[in-house]
Amino acid sequence: EAAGEAEARLLLLQEARESIEAARSYRRELQQRLRGLHQARQQIKESATLTRDVLEQHFNDLKGTLKKLLDERLLSLLQEVDVIEQDSIKPLDECQKLIEHGVSTADELLREGESAVDGDVGQQNEKLCNFTKKALHIQLDSLPEVPSLVDVPCLSAQLDDCLFTILKNQIFRHGTVASRPPVQLEEFVEKPGGILVRWCKVDEDFTPQDYRLQFRKGTASHFEDVYVGSDTEFMVLHLDPHVDYQFRVCARGDGRQEWSPWSVPQLGRTTLVPHEWTAGLEGYSLSSRRNIALRNDSQSCGVLYSKAPTYFCGQTLTFRQVFPGIETVGQPDRRDSLGVCVEQQNGFDSLQRDKAVCISTNGAVFVNGKEMTNQLPAVTSGSTVTFDMEVVQLGPCSNEGGNFKLRVTISSNNREVVFDWVLDQCCGSLYFGCSFSYPGWKVLVF
């Protein structure tokens, strides 16, 4: 009986402990949801505050601009009135001067005539004769033409009241407030030294023409453009591993000039170190980040390998032939190749060897030094070559080795070949490499 009571007590204790653990888990979930609600409330309040600031700033700028434009138009019209007034008054002033001169001449002639009539009888005949000659010379019957009121300008201002209606309609339609952006960030895919950012349209009624992706490092104050175009994904390169970056995206509607509101900013990071070429190999010059290799004009040749085995199965390794600034890329050679290998092996002038898969610049594919029947397009300026691998294990695999198979997909210029690469050892990571015999080839790896 005592044993039964002890067992029952143990069961009750077990049930109590399970209930306590369930309550703890329930509390954690509720607390997590409370944090989510707090973040949602904070996002609404912060975005509302920012939107108010943007609206007030925009309309203040708009009022200032409109006032400036109206002042400029008023000044232009007033100057036009001044010009018309001056041009119209000028001939009247000239006519007035002519008439005033005639009045002065007539006054003077009138005084001479009265003096001649009322003068001495002895000198009267001579004065009358001189006066008559002078009067004939002045042409007293010739009068200047004075324009009638209907022939001179009468200025007025024509102000179309429909402008107020047009402005009112335009202003009342100007600006919108959106509660949700039409596009949102969808996925971040880690890449060596970068992040593949994907976004999607969330508003079915919105027809995008272009997208604009921005990012900033950590808590930096300013975002910077990293992509503008019609694609819905972009590889952001040259990022530091284990560092948070904030991303946001917006879109421009079809036929519109303005950009939509920004998406909700999201954090992304990569934990994968960037791919780098090995420095110091004669025959190749590297960029400052050591992700671009240029075959220089050195006579030395050989395979340029990666600094470390940084390519892992399940990732995509990309080689891009960068336009080097000359009309054509380097002269091709049948030994030229791009590919991956199990280990670095010095003394070879090509990756067309054992424990390596590669594509030559003429499009031939080599597996462990043997050429396949399938062929890809030739590698030219601007070409992109990608390697994708997944593990397909044939037999037991241990540290001592064993049958090991990788499913390899090589793509070039929208064509691809798929084959199985059988190795005698497990490979968690691989080296990549390239070899070119002539200068001019310039390869970016990511």
SS3 content of the chain, % helix, strand, coil (to 5): 35, 30, 40
Stated as kind and residue range, the H or E segment containing 88 is helix 2-118
386-441, pLDDT tens digit by residue?
999 998 875 555 444 457 889 999 999 889 999 999 888 888 789 999 999 888 88
**What residue ranges do the domains of the chain occupy?**
24-143, 183-270, 284-445
Which token pair is 262? 């920004």
Residue 229 has pLDDT above 70, yes or no: yes
Residue 171 has pLDDT above 50, yes or no: yes
pLDDT at 213: 97
Name the amino acid, one letter, at 214: Q
| Selected residue with higher pLDDT from 250 and 138 | 250
Residue 228 — pLDDT band, cuts 50, 70, 90?
Answer: very high
256-290, pLDDT tens digit by residue?
888 998 999 999 999 988 899 999 888 899 998 89
Residue 218 — pLDDT band, cuts 50, 70, 90?
Answer: confident
Residue 326 has pLDDT above 50, yes or no: no
Name the amino acid, one letter, at 382: G
pLDDT at 329: 55
Which token pair is 79? 């100057």
Residue 244 has pLDDT above 50, yes or no: yes
pLDDT at 325: 40
What is the CATH code of the structural domain delimited by 284-445? 2.60.120.920
Give the integer Cα–Cα distance in Å for 319 and 339: 9
Give the integer Cα–Cα distance in Å for 259 and 249: 10
| Selected residue with higher pLDDT from 4 and 370 | 370
Which token pair is 143? 């009068």
Please, what is the average pLDDT of the chain?
A: 87
182-208, pLDDT tens digit by residue?
999 999 999 888 999 999 999 888 899
Give the integer Cα–Cα distance in Å for 383 and 378: 9
Which token pair is 422? 């059988």
pLDDT at 263: 93
Give the integer Cα–Cα distance in Å for 327 and 330: 10
- Percentage of residues of the chain with pLDDT beyond 70: 94
pLDDT at 277: 93
- Percentage of residues of the chain with pLDDT beyond 90: 46
38-93, pLDDT tens digit by residue?
988 998 898 899 889 989 999 999 999 999 999 999 999 999 999 999 999 998 88
Residue 334 has pLDDT above 90, yes or no: no
The CATH number, out of the four listed (1.10.3720.10, 3.40.50.720, 2.60.40.10, 3.90.1150.10), of the domain defined by the range 183-270: 2.60.40.10
Give the integer Cα–Cα distance in Å for 366 and 387: 13
pLDDT at 201: 92
Give the integer Cα–Cα distance in Å for 418 and 341: 17
